[in-house]
A = this chain, B = another copy of it.
Amino acid sequence: MHMLIALAQINPTVGDIDGNCTKIFKSIEVARDKGADLVLFPELCVPGYPPRDLLHRKDFVQRNVNAIEHIAAACKGIIAVVGFASPNTESAGKELFNAAAICQDGKVLSVYRKRLLPTYDVFDESRYFAPGETNKSLNVTVSGKHVQIGITICEDLWNDEPFINRRLYGADPIADLAKQQVDLIVNISASPFSMGKQRQREELFSRQVAEHNIPLALVNQVGGNDDLIFDGASAYFDATGKCLVRGKSFAEDMQFVDTDRPATSPPLEIPEDIAAVHDALVLGTRDYVTKCGFSDVVIGLSGGIDSAVTAALAVEALGKEHVHGVAMPSRISSDHSVDDAQQLSTNFGIDHRVIPINRIHQAAEETLAKEFAGMRPGIAEENIQARARGAILMALSNKFGWLLLTTGNKSELAVGYCTLYGDMCGGLAVISDVPKMMVYALADYINEKAGTPLIPQNTIDKVPSAELRENQTDQDSLPPYDVLDAILQQYVEQDLDIADIVANGFDRELVVEIARKVDRNEYKRKQAATGLRVTSRAFGSGRRMPIAAKYTY
């Protein structure tokens, strides 16, 4: 077999069939110009992944079908494999297939239908799609030789540990293709990022490939679509399971694979974990903001580490001229909170405003004085300050058309250490899936990469505080963050039982208290902004918990 394969790692926008097709047409042209025999596009790249309930709109599905005809017409002298939603007109089950159109010489040669449909975590594919029942392999003549290509879509290839219990699906498309003695397996994917997944994923692919002794060419979608960030890192593995070519992580790319001599230089590296999280958040922020039609963002700067890291990520995503920082001191705020915020803005060169909340704070206290007469100050009074800040930021957002980025981290969102309609205000929660200890690691990474403390060292070193009452620190209400994060990781990400977490060396009373806080604050997260997912289990579409529920330990 000798082929030149192009891995067209594009960043589609969900719903934007015309825009996505423009990217596809351009990529076909580039691939053909370079002499590619075959160009691969990601799963469902015509509608963008995940299209969700747009798939219930008849006109949307029809336009996505029409698009495939246009794409096929553009495939002169090259074969393209393109993901789209294909109507199910014949078999039992849902009305669509998650499909790959194989286009050549102006025609759709064949349509493959994804067999394994993920319906867990963030995936809802059984909501929309019927499973395909048969493999599809394609006999292609390249340079006078016949090549048998087996087509697969994402999950078809994932049928193994650590992601999938082999018992989950009663089918194994890769093994079936191996029995058909294909020369090459192609996989088109839309596989979202989480920390560590790039490496795990390639280990799995490598194992699958080596087991069956068939090379694999895989293209993965790139880009942020709401909470999900797709990392790209498309790849080619030879029949021994060695990765010879790899696409960029977190950026559009087109890699070419010459199957006769694929490894002329070492493949691009997969980034280290913290760099990957950083790059994922930058991409996720940029795409959410721009795909929503915004250019600028506004961020409340407290002088603390969460807002500092959020601002740094936003600057990287959008450019410093598009980021607006607002410090909103109260009579309780420390001097360093204002100074550190100012220093941060200066370091990053962003617009900086200081808007004290004292007037609103005092007016709210006076307004409620009669109602609250004789009662001790508490959470209600603290939240008033957070909500005054939320209202100021939203007023700026409304007035100037800036998207408000909210700055809460995963640890505080987990236990409800945040104010609904206060610091939770915003269109996008940039670091709401980043545990507090990882926020520190990100700050260090950002400063190291810059070679200078862009995030002021004092912001990193000081004791965390919400500054909603005098001398408050986070640890008045919470255990040390390393302990909290370890418990949360086991309870939220791994779904471990209380007993198992205790067996891992944590105090039972503390574990129960944390678990209860997590459960009790489901109502806050119900109303949280979309948050970028970077762990294996974010608060979002991958975690669906009841609110008015009662589960005791």
A19 and B119 in contact (CB under 8 A), knowing A371-B353, A395-B380?
Answer: no
- At the interface, yes or no: A21 with Cβ under 8 Å from chain B? no
Selected from B92, B526, B543, the residue in CB contact (under 8 A) with A53 is: B543
Q: How many copies does the complex hold?
A: 2
Q: Check A380 against B399 for contact (C-beta < 8 Å).
A: yes
Contacts of A550 in B (CB 8 A): 13-16, 19, 291
Contacts of A394 in B (CB 8 A): 383, 387, 420-421
A57 and B495 in contact (CB under 8 A), knowing A19-B550, A528-B527?
Answer: yes
Given contacts A291-B548, A360-B363, 12 further A-B contacts (CB under 8 A): A15-B550, A60-B551, A92-B168, A225-B549, A226-B546, A291-B549, A291-B550, A292-B548, A360-B360, A364-B392, A387-B394, A391-B391
Q: Check A366 against B359 for contact (C-beta < 8 Å).
A: yes
Interface residues in A73-121 (C-beta closer than 8 Å to B): 92-95, 119-120
- At the interface, yes or no: A372 with Cβ under 8 Å from chain B? yes
Measured CB to CB, the closest approach of chain B to A505, in angstroms, equals 19
With A and B bound together, what is the CA distance between A363 and B263 in angstroms?
67
Measured CB to CB, the closest approach of chain B to A525, in angstroms, equals 11
- At the interface, yes or no: A474 with Cβ under 8 Å from chain B? no
Contacts of A261 in B (CB 8 A): none
Contacts of A137 in B (CB 8 A): none
B-contact 0/1 string along A12-27, CB 8 Å cutoff: 0111111100000000
Q: Check B363 against A362 for contact (C-beta < 8 Å).
A: yes
Measured CB to CB, the closest approach of chain B to A399, in angstroms, equals 4
Contacts of A425 in B (CB 8 A): 420-421
- At the interface, yes or no: A50 with Cβ under 8 Å from chain B? yes
Q: Which residue of B lies closest to A426 (CB)?
A: B527
- At the interface, yes or no: A127 with Cβ under 8 Å from chain B? yes
Q: Check B225 against A523 for contact (C-beta < 8 Å).
A: no
B-contact 0/1 string along A254-295, CB 8 Å cutoff: 000000000000000000000000000000000110011000
Q: Check B54 against A551 for contact (C-beta < 8 Å).
A: yes
B-contact 0/1 string along A216-243, CB 8 Å cutoff: 0000000011100000000000000000
Measured CB to CB, the closest approach of chain B to A168, in angstroms, equals 7
With A and B bound together, what is the CA distance between A526 and B425 in angstroms?
12
Contacts of A92 in B (CB 8 A): 167-170
Contacts of A1 in B (CB 8 A): none
With A and B bound together, what is the CA distance between A93 and B224 in angstroms?
30
B-contact 0/1 string along A151-171, CB 8 Å cutoff: 000000000000001011110
Q: Check B395 against A54 for contact (C-beta < 8 Å).
A: no
With A and B bound together, what is the CA distance between A50 and B546 in angstroms?
8
Q: Check A544 against B391 for contact (C-beta < 8 Å).
A: no
- At the interface, yes or no: A214 with Cβ under 8 Å from chain B? no
Q: Check A548 against B224 for contact (C-beta < 8 Å).
A: yes
Contacts of A526 in B (CB 8 A): 529-530
- At the interface, yes or no: A69 with Cβ under 8 Å from chain B? no
With A and B bound together, what is the CA distance between A168 and B92 in angstroms?
5
- At the interface, yes or no: A450 with Cβ under 8 Å from chain B? no
- At the interface, yes or no: A398 with Cβ under 8 Å from chain B? yes
Q: Check A58 against B291 for contact (C-beta < 8 Å).
A: no
List 20 A-B residue pairs with CB atoms under 8 Å apart, sorted by A's residue number.
A13-B548, A15-B546, A16-B550, A17-B551, A53-B543, A53-B545, A54-B546, A93-B167, A119-B119, A127-B544, A225-B549, A355-B371, A356-B367, A363-B364, A371-B396, A372-B395, A383-B394, A383-B395, A384-B391, A394-B421
Q: Most B CB atoms within 10 A — which of A16, A288, A544? A: A544
- At the interface, yes or no: A52 with Cβ under 8 Å from chain B? yes
A14 and B375 in contact (CB under 8 A), knowing A170-B93, A387-B391?
Answer: no
With A and B bound together, what is the CA distance between A543 and B124 in angstroms?
12
Contacts of A551 in B (CB 8 A): 15-17, 54, 60
Selected from B16, B226, B367, B528, the residue in CB contact (under 8 A) with A359 is: B367
Q: Which residue of B lies closest to A396 (CB)?
A: B371
Q: Check A225 against B546 for contact (C-beta < 8 Å).
A: yes
